[in-house]
Structure 1
Amino acid sequence: MYYKTFDPASELRELIKCYWILESPEEATPERQTIVPDGCMEMIFHYGDLYRQYLPDGNNILQPRCFVIGQLTQPLEIESTGITGIFSVRFHPGGFLPFTNVPIREMENTAVSLEQLFSNDGLEMEQKILNASSVTERIQYIENFLRNRLTDANTIDRIIKTTVETILTANGQLTIETVSKQTNVNRRQLERKFATAIGLSPKQLSKTVRLQATLKMLLSKQFTSFTALAHENEYYDQAHFNKDFKELTGLTPKEFYGDQLKMSALFYGTE
């Protein structure tokens, strides 16, 4: 299995966190993987075989070949149907807003095809990405496409940028009341702006960021016990830690610790 990340061009760095590719032959791909929310929307291109997505109601669907996945508020279970070949654009929280007219909140937990989002322009760009012979070509095509759609780099306002930075710096451990005081913006205003730009409330983003910080410690084995891990990441108590963990991963910390951790790290940000 081959996984690698790439930096975006300087003028897109405020909006795009990175590009990544994942390639794997059929026999080396795990049967099912759990994708954990990380606060970042993704634009996915399957130049390999498609992935099956398992729904909360027990049914499953094939994901579109090319799509944007909205903000996740719950674990996403997927499974390869063959050979894996994925190119992805991972946006910063709020980073996808300048490129679409579709309300971000309406995309929650949903894979939306590029045709739905960008019409014929999306279909044309899909073919370029899928038929490209290298990751360098794919990055060139997607950056040209996104630059042409970027009418205003300042679409994400100062309040959103400042608040997101505050949440990230604190690893999601601050209360929303504290965040509101530090940014000097009232809570209701923050929630309205976050719903529009990010598709999550400040509390949801904080919960997600704190979990990601916890997963990084799990991945690097920087903890002595799950109780110590909960304390280190400033959960109220073990019950609070277990509740948030299961809500976002679908498993308890003990159940999750293993192969799932590594695969989730590959797909969603805990590099």
Structure 2
Amino acid sequence: MLTLLEDELMRRLGDAAGLGLVRHTSSVIAATSGAVAIGDLRVAAGVSSTHLAQRFKELIGVTPKRLARSYRFTATVLAINPAGPIDWGDLAGGAGYFDQAHFGHEFRAFTGLTPTRYVEVRRRFLREHPGHVLDGWPLPAD
């Protein structure tokens, strides 16, 4: 049954309008860890912003901008070493955030915590659970 379902889903996905566009655009987003201007991708693909966003929403459920934000944030959180000092300005700039305020806003949007509070919680987790299987992973945050 699972094989039949998978075959049918693959068949339907293969017929999806804009699949090539979404695959290419999402691969660029992934390769740049989200640090790419969606407008540049749209221009390179020769489509409107609306068309690109619609194809993404239909095929993967989020807009290309949201996908890029997710990739950029993930790369940033994975770059945080809670055991050492953190230069938030360098971290934000290296991830492609415009400034620390933009970085802080994105961080709160994804975690519900400020970057400083997130690191405090991570450090507490590491102290309270030494050798835990999640040691070295960015989550859990609380």
TM-score w.r.t. the length of structure 2 is 0.73
1:237 aligned residue? 99
Between Structure 1 and Structure 2, how many residues are aligned? 124
How far apart are 1:262 and its partner, in Å?
3.0
- For residues 150-161 of structure 1, the aligned pairs below 5 Å read 150-152=9-11, 153-155=13-15, 157-161=19-23
Q: CA deviation at 1:174?
A: 1.4
1:147: which partner in 2?
Answer: 6
Match of 1:218 in 2: 80
Distance in 1 (CA, whole Å) between partners of 2:15 and 2:139 is 30
Is the 2:22–2:56 Cα contact (8 Å) retained in structure 1? yes
The aligned residue for residue 137 of structure 2 is 262
Residues 162/254 of structure 1: CA separation in 2 closer, same or farther (3 Å cut): same
Question: What corresponds to 1:252 in structure 2?
Answer: 114
Q: Partner letter of residue 23 of structure 2? A: K
**What code does the residue aligned with 1:241 have?**
F
Q: 1:222 to 1:163 in 2, by over 3 A?
A: farther
Instruction: Give 3-state SS (helix, strand or coil) of 2:66's partner.
Output: helix
- The share of aligned pairs that are identical, in percent, is 25
Q: Which residue of 1 aligns with 2:131?
A: none
Q: Deviation above 4 Å: which 4+ runs of structure 1?
A: 219-224
Identify the residue that residue 36 of structure 2 maps to in structure 1. Answer: 174
User: Is 1:205 the counterpart of 2:67 in the alignment?
Assistant: yes
Note closer, same or farther for the CA distance 1:246–1:227 as it changes in structure 2 (3 Å cut). Answer: same
Give me the whole-angstrom Cα distance separating, in 2, the residues matched to 1:221 and 1:206.
28
Normalising by structure 1, we get a TM-score of: 0.41
**Distance in structure 2 (CA, Å) of the matches to 1:220 and 1:155:** 46
1:29-82 deviations in whole A, cap 9, x for unaligned?
xxxxxxxxxxxxxxxxxxxxxxxxxxxxxxxxxxxxxxxxxxxxxxxxxxxxxx
1:200 is displaced (CA, Å) by 1.0
Deviations 1:2-29 (A, max 9, x none): xxxxxxxxxxxxxxxxxxxxxxxxxxxx
Query: Deviation at 1:264?
Result: 2.9
CA 1:178–1:214 in structure 2 vs 1: closer, same or farther (change >3 Å)?
A: same
Report if aligned partners of 2:80, 2:86 keep a CA contact under 8 Å in 1: no
Q: 1:182 Cα shift?
A: 2.7
Cα deviation for residue 216 of structure 1 reads 1.5
- Quote the offset at 1:241 in angstroms: 0.2
Uncovered stretches (5+) of structure 2, i.e. residues with no partner: 126-133
Aligned amino acid, residue 9 of structure 2: L
Structure with higher RCO (Cα < 8 A, 6+ apart): 1
Unpaired runs of 5+ residues, structure 1, are: 1-120, 122-141, 266-271
Q: Give me the whole-angstrom Cα distance separating, in 1, the residues matched to 2:50 and 2:72.
A: 22
Aligned to 2:49: 187
The Cα shift of 1:147 comes to: 2.5
